[in-house]
Amino acid sequence: MELKPYQHKVIKDLESFLQILQEKQNPAQAYKQYWESRVGPYTPQIDGSFTGMTPYKDNIPNATHIAIKVPTAGGKTFIACNALHSINKHFNQGNPKAVVWLVPWSNLLQQTFNNLSEASHPYREKLNTLFNGRVEVYEKEGLLQGANFTPSSVTEQLNIFVFNFSSLRINSRKKDDRKIYKECGYLESFRESVIDKDLVLPDTDETALINVIRSLNPVVIVDESHNAESDLSVEMLNNLNPSLVLDLTATPKSNSNIISFVNAMELKKENMVKLPVVVYNHNKKEEVISSALHLRRQLELHAEKEEEVTGKYIRPIILFQAQSNIKGKNNTTFQNIKDKLVKLKIPEEQIRIKVSGIDELKDEDLMSRDCPVRYIITVNALKEGWDCPNAYILASLADKSSPVEVEQILGRVLRQPYVTKHQNPLLNLSFVLTASAKFNETLDNIVEGLQESGFSRDDYYAEEAPQEELTDQEVLQQDLFGKGKKDDKPVSDDVFEVNTIDFDPEDEVSLENLEVHQPEIVNHITGKAAQESEAFDKAVQKTTIDDDTALITQVMGKKPTLYKVMEKYRETWSRLRLPQFYIKQEHDADAQSVLFEEAASYETLLNKVELLAGFNLATKNADIQFDELSADIRTIDFNEEKKAVEIGTKLSHRGKRFLLDNILAKPKDKQLKDVTDIIVSKLGDMYPIPEQDLKSYVSRVFGSLDKSQIQDVITNDFNYVRNIKNHINDLTSDYTKKQFKQKLASKTIFTDTKFELPESICPIRTSTNMAKSLYEKEGHMNNFERDMITDIAALDNVLFWHRNLDRGKGFFLNGFSSNHYPDFIVYTKSDHVILIETKGDDRDNPDSRDKNRLGKAWDKEAGDRFSYFMVFQTKEVEDCYTAKSIIEVVKNL
C-alpha cells in the first residue's frame, strides 16, 4: 500500500515544516516562517479581517502542536503511519521512539490496535518497512502488565501505545480513578534507567505508567482531534509531556495549527468516496423501509455481476437509523425495528444492533465473505472511526415531524469499496432515505454532515416524493384546523404497518426482471441516481484541483475571490499557448499494447526524474569534507538551571545517550550499519535513488568510524545529513544537466506549445491594481517587481502582462532542475511573449544561474516569438539584465 498523491503532498508539507523547526528550534517561529513563505505575513485589518495565516496557538506548552486536515475516507491512519517516519527523521534526536496514539471511542481503539498490530495489515506492513520491522504496539492492559515492555525495548524499536481519551482524560485531583496513574510493580525496572524524577507528576508513584510515558517524551497522534478540545483534554495532553502533538481531523477547531490539508476534490478524483449522496424524502416511514430493502437488493445484484468480472466482493449494507430517546421515555425502537424486519422474513442472522449499551458488531468482520450482515440498526453510535465501505444506504426512521439528524453518521456511508470506480454507477454512490415533514432542515443537517466529513453542499442530490393527494374534505380540514389525514400524527418510529411494506426477500429477482419486482419509486430513485452520477463524474473531471482556493476556504477560513481575464484581452488570451519541454519515450518492445510501429514511441512532459535514468550513485565519489562543520555545530545538552532542554530538542540529551550506549555496545560493523541507517532515514525522499543505494553510499562516506566520530555523527546528525544531501543533490544536478544537453542536441527533448493560462485565478495575496494587467487582479509583488512591471507596462508596444503564479498554479519551465516559475509573462502587440524572472542583487547564486541556463535553453528552442530574461535590480550579472536595461530590450520586441 503506497501513498496516494495527495497523501504524499501531506507528508511533504509535514517534512517542510519539520525542517524549518529544526533550524528555528521554536514551533511558533517555525509556523510563522512556514506560512509566510506561502501566504505572506499575518496582517490584521481594521475591519477585523486579516491577510496571511493567523499566528501559532501555543495550546500545549513546551511541545510542538500541529494539525493535518483530512476529509472522511482520506486515509488519516495511513498518513499518520508515514508521518511517524518523517517525525522521527526530522524531529526526534534519537531513541527512544515512543508514540502515544489517542482515539476518542472504544470501537476505534480496538480497530486501531488491531490494524497497527496485524502483520498482514497494510498499516503494519508500512510501519515495518519504515522502521525495519522494529515496531511494537501496546494496549493499556499490556503496558500495565509489562508485557514485552522493558527499558531495553524502548531504545530498540518504535513503541506505539494505543489509548482512548477516557483512559487518560481525568481531572488532576482524581488520578486515583485511573490505573495508569497508580503504582505499577511490573514497571519497577523503569525506575532507575528511564524514569526522570523531575518529570514525575505530583501525588503519583514513580512507577506509574503515566510517569514512564512522560519520561519517554512521546510523540502524540490525536485521531479525530476535534473531540479533544476541552480543558480536561488539554490537561490530558499536558500530562503526557509530549515532544510533538499531531492532530488528525476532518474538522479542525479554530485553535488548530494546520500545516497541511487535503482538498476534498482530490478524494473524489482518487475514487476514495461514494459521491454524490443521493437523498430522497418519502411520505411515509413504511416507504423508506420498502425503498431501502429494494435498493439494497438491486445494489447487491449489481455487485454480484461486477464480481464475476473483477473478483471484488461487495455486500451492500443498510444503516437503519432509529429515533433517539423522546422526552425522557425509555425508547427501545431499535429492537422494535429488528422485530419488524424479521416479520418481513429478513433472516435474523443478517441483522445487527449497534447502540449505546448494545454492540452486536463487536466481533464481526463486515468485509468477510462469510459475514451475513446486511442490516445494521443504530441511533448515532456509529460515529467517527467506524469504517465499512459496504455501507451504502442510510435509512432514517425518525419521527416524520422531525428533521433527520444525520450529521453524526453520514460519513459512515461515504467510503468507497476497494478505492476504485465501479462499472455500475449505483455502486459509486451513497444513499440517504428519509420521511420527514421538515425536509429543508434535514438537508441542512446533511450539508452539516458533509462539512463535518470535509466535503461541501455541492456533493449531494436531493428530491422529494410528490405529496399524496388529499380529498376535498381533508383539504378543508387542513385549511380550517391545520389537520391533515387522521392518521398523519407525530408517531414514534416503532409504529409502522409491516403489511404495507412491499418487499419479499424470497422473491426470485434478477437484473433482467428487476424493474417489475420493485416499486416505481425505487426505479425513479435509481434512474435519477445514475444520471446524477454521470453528471457528477463529468464535473469532477472538468474541475481543476485548486489548492490555493481550498487553502483560503478550508484552512484560512476566508471566502475565495476569483479574478477573471480582462474582457479587452479575452480574444488574445484565448489563442495564447506557451511552449514547454517534452521528451520522446519508447514503449517496451514486448508490450502487448504496441500493435503498430508508429505506436512504439510516445511523448511526455519532461521532468527531472526522467533525466536521472541511468544515474548510478555507486559509481560516484564519496569523499565529502566535514572539517568545516565545527563552526556550525550546535551543542545540545540539558539545561541545569531550567531543569529541561530547549523546545524542539527535549528528547536529545537522554535520547542520544540511549542511542549511543546502544550502538557502541555492538560490534564495529554493526556500529557502522546503525549510524548509516540513522543518517539515511533522515535524508528524506531522494526519489528515484533507491534507499539501498543511499545506504551503500553513506556507508562508503563514513568508511570506518571510531568511537568519538560516531558520537559526533549522532550528536550533530543535522549537519552531517545536510552536507551529504547537498553533495548527492550536486551529483544528480550535474548528471541531469549533461543528460538535458545531450537529449536536446539529439532532438529527444523538444518543445511543444500546449500550456494554456486559466480563465480566472485565485491568488492568496493580491497586488494593487495596475495598468495592462491580464487579470482583474494580479498576485502579490515586492517593491522591485512592482516598479519594474510598472515601467514595462508603460511601454507603447506592451499589450498586457501577468504576474505568474507558482506552486503548481502557473506556467513553469521544466528541465534539468525543479520546475521554474518565471515571475512575469509579458505579451506585446506584435504577438511576442516575454518571460521575466526577477532577482534581488543578493540572489546571484548557483540556483539563479541554473534557472537562467534553463530559461535561455527554452528561449532558443521555443522559437522567435518567445524570449526569456533574468533581471537583477541593479547588479550587473553575466547574461542577465538590470531593471533599467531590460526596458530597452522589451520596447523593441
Q: What is the CATH number of the domain that holds 380?
A: 3.40.50.300
Across 388-397, 688-697, 702-711, 766-775, least confident range:
702-711
Spatial distance between the Cα atoms of 149 and 231, rounded to a whole number of angstroms? 31
Mean pLDDT value across residues 765-783 = 90
**Residue after which a domain boundary falls, among 215, 245, 263:** 263
Nearest to 838 by CA among 766, 769, 892, 785: 785
Higher pLDDT, residue 591 or 445: 445
* DSSP letter (8 states) at residue 54: P
**Residue after which a domain boundary falls, among 231, 248, 263:** 263
Helix (H) / strand (E) containing 799: strand 798-803
Quote the cell numbers at residue 367: 468485509
Higher pLDDT, residue 693 or 335: 693
Sign of the CA dihedral with 246 first, then 252, 254, and 259 last: positive
* DSSP letter (8 states) at residue 845: S
Instruction: Output the pLDDT for position 882.
Output: 94
Instruction: Output the pLDDT for position 177.
Output: 52
Q: Report the range out of 167-181, 343-357, 668-682, 704-718 with the highest average pLDDT.
A: 343-357
At which residue does the C-alpha cell 444513499 appear?
Answer: 431
In this prediction the pTM is 0.66
At which residue does the C-alpha cell 485565478 appear?
Answer: 761
Q: Report the range out of 123-137, 663-677, 727-741 with the highest average pLDDT.
A: 727-741
Instruction: Output the pLDDT for position 25.
Output: 86
Instruction: Output the pLDDT for position 276.
Output: 85
Nearest to 135 by CA among 121, 156, 111, 151: 156
Is residue 556 in a domain?
no
Sequential DSSP letters for 854-889: HHHHHHHHH-TTEEEEEEESS---TT-EETTHHHHH
Is residue 744 in a domain?
no
Instruction: Output the pLDDT for position 470.
Output: 55
> Do 780 and 706 share a structural domain?
no
Q: How many structural domains comprise the chain? A: 4
Report whether 91 contacts 244 (CB < 8 A). Answer: yes
Coil, helix or strand for 520? helix
pLDDT digit string, tens, across residues 140-160:
888 888 888 888 888 778 899
C-alpha distances (whole Å) from 522 to each of 248, 300, 431, 437, 519 are: 39, 15, 12, 20, 6
pLDDT at 799 over 90: yes
Beta strand extents in 485-605 (DSSP E only): 563-564, 578-586, 601-605
Beta bridge partners of 752: 580
Cβ contacts of 250 within 8 Å, gap of 6 or more: 69, 70, 71, 72, 74, 226, 411, 452, 453, 454
Quote the cell numbers at residue 160: 506505539
> Do 240 and 276 share a structural domain?
no
The model's confidence at residue 632, banded by pLDDT at 50, 70 and 90, is very low
User: What percent of the chain is modeled with pLDDT above 70?
Assistant: 81
The model's confidence at residue 477, banded by pLDDT at 50, 70 and 90, is low
CA angle 407, 249, 561 (to 5 degrees): 85
Mean pLDDT value across residues 625-652 = 42
pLDDT at 273 over 70: yes
Quote the cell numbers at residue 228: 479533544
Report whether 68 contacts 248 (CB < 8 A). Answer: yes
Amino acid letter, 523 = N
Instruction: Output the pLDDT for position 680.
Output: 84
Report whether 189 contacts 151 (CB < 8 A). Answer: yes
Higher pLDDT, residue 171 or 265: 265
Across 102-106, 116-120, 350-354, 490-494, least confident range:
490-494
The model's confidence at residue 549, banded by pLDDT at 50, 70 and 90, is low
> Do 309 and 423 share a structural domain?
yes
Instruction: Output the pLDDT for position 780.
Output: 87
> Do 303 and 214 share a structural domain?
no
Q: Would you tell me the crossing angle of helices 707-715 and 717-745 to the nearest 10 degrees?
A: 80
pLDDT digit string, tens, across residues 312-345:
899 999 998 887 655 444 445 788 888 888 998 9
Spatial distance between the Cα atoms of 193 and 99, rounded to a whole number of angstroms? 19
pLDDT digit string, tens, across residues 365-381:
888 889 999 999 887 65
Higher pLDDT, residue 118 or 407: 118
Is residue 740 in a domain?
no
Spatial distance between the Cα atoms of 76 and 83, rounded to a whole number of angstroms? 10
> Do 342 and 323 share a structural domain?
yes
Look at phi and psi of residue 224 and say left if phi exceeds 0, alpha if psi is from -120 to 50, else beta: left
Nearest to 126 by CA among 87, 94, 156, 84: 84
**Residue after which a domain boundary falls, among 232, 263, 294:** 263
Query: In 91-204, which residue ranges form alpha helices assigned H by DSSP?
Result: 106-117, 122-130, 140-144, 153-156, 165-168, 190-193
The model's confidence at residue 650, banded by pLDDT at 50, 70 and 90, is very low
Residue 820's domain is classified under what CATH number?
3.40.1350
At which residue does the C-alpha cell 532558443 appear?
Answer: 860
Higher pLDDT, residue 753 or 1: 753
DSSP tally for the chain: helices H, then strands E: 29, 27
> Do 114 and 246 share a structural domain?
yes
Q: Would you tell me the crossing angle of helices 122-130 and 76-90 to the nearest 10 degrees?
A: 10
Which residue range(s) make up the domain with 336?
Answer: 270-542
pLDDT at 660 over 70: no
Q: Report the range out of 63-72, 174-183, 267-276 with the highest average pLDDT.
A: 63-72
> Do 196 and 174 share a structural domain?
yes
C-alpha distances (whole Å) from 385 to each of 111, 224, 252 are: 8, 8, 16
Spatial distance between the Cα atoms of 441 and 681, rounded to a whole number of angstroms? 52
> Do 33 and 182 share a structural domain?
yes
Instruction: Output the pLDDT for position 636.
Output: 35
Nearest to 100 by CA among 182, 185, 214: 214
> Do 289 and 221 share a structural domain?
no
Pairing label, strands 430-434, 277-281: parallel
The model's confidence at residue 484, banded by pLDDT at 50, 70 and 90, is very low
Is residue 647 in a domain?
yes
Spatial distance between the Cα atoms of 224 and 220, rounded to a whole number of angstroms? 13
Pairing label, strands 578-586, 601-605: antiparallel
pLDDT at 829 over 90: yes
Rounded to 5 degrees, what are φ and ψ at 235? -60, -40
Rounded to 5 degrees, what are φ and ψ at 24? -85, -30
Q: Would you tell me the crossing angle of helices 707-715 and 668-683 to the nearest 10 degrees?
A: 20
Is residue 22 in a domain?
yes
Cβ contacts of 568 within 8 Å, gap of 6 or more: none
Burial 424-448 (b: 16+ CB within 10 A, else e): bbbbbbbbbbbbbbbbeebbebbbb
Spatial distance between the Cα atoms of 265 and 278, rounded to a whole number of angstroms? 18
Spatial distance between the Cα atoms of 822 and 838, rounded to a whole number of angstroms? 8
Instruction: Output the pLDDT for position 744.
Output: 92
Coil, helix or strand for 570? helix
At which residue does the C-alpha cell 468482520 appear?
Answer: 365
Report whether 865 contacts 576 (CB < 8 A). Answer: no
At which residue does the C-alpha cell 566535514 appear?
Answer: 626
Report whether 206 contacts 192 (CB < 8 A). Answer: no
Instruction: Output the pLDDT for position 3.
Output: 81
> Do 300 and 202 share a structural domain?
no
Is residue 589 in a domain?
no
The model's confidence at residue 646, banded by pLDDT at 50, 70 and 90, is very low
> Do 632 and 651 share a structural domain?
yes
Quote the cell numbers at residue 178: 485511573
Across 48-57, 225-234, 648-657, least confident range:
648-657
Spatial distance between the Cα atoms of 310 and 252, rounded to a whole number of angstroms? 38
Spatial distance between the Cα atoms of 431 and 413, rounded to a whole number of angstroms? 8
Residue 137's domain is classified under what CATH number?
3.40.50
The model's confidence at residue 592, banded by pLDDT at 50, 70 and 90, is very low
The model's confidence at residue 286, banded by pLDDT at 50, 70 and 90, is confident
pLDDT at 600 over 60: no
For the beta sheet containing 601-605, the strands, ordered from the edge strand earlier in sequence to the opposite edge, are 601-605, 578-586, 749-755
At which residue does the C-alpha cell 498490530 appear?
Answer: 117
pLDDT at 86 over 70: yes
CB burial of residue 644 (10 Å; 0-12, 13-18, 19+): middle
pLDDT at 452 over 60: yes
Sequential DSSP letters for 746-789: TTSEEEEEEE---SEE--SSBPPP-TTBSBSS-B---HHHHHHH
Quote the cell numbers at residue 121: 495489515
Is residue 660 in a domain?
yes
Mean pLDDT value across residues 83-107 = 78
Report whether 287 contacts 466 (CB < 8 A). Answer: no
The model's confidence at residue 597, banded by pLDDT at 50, 70 and 90, is very low
Amino acid letter, 845 = N
Across 278-292, 354-368, 782-796, least confident range:
354-368
- Average pLDDT of every residue of the chain: 81
Sequential DSSP letters for 618-632: GGS------GGGGGG
**Cis preceding-peptide flag for 242 (omega within 30 of 0):** no
Sequential DSSP letters for 189-242: THHHHT--GGGPPTTS-TTSHHHHHHHT--EEEEETGGG--SHHHHHHHHHT--
Higher pLDDT, residue 198 or 333: 198
Is residue 15 in a domain?
yes
C-alpha distances (whole Å) from 179 to each of 113, 237, 430, 488 are: 19, 17, 43, 54
Across 479-483, 510-514, 615-619, least confident range:
479-483
Instruction: Output the pLDDT for position 362.
Output: 78
Coil, helix or strand for 389? coil
> Do 347 and 245 share a structural domain?
no
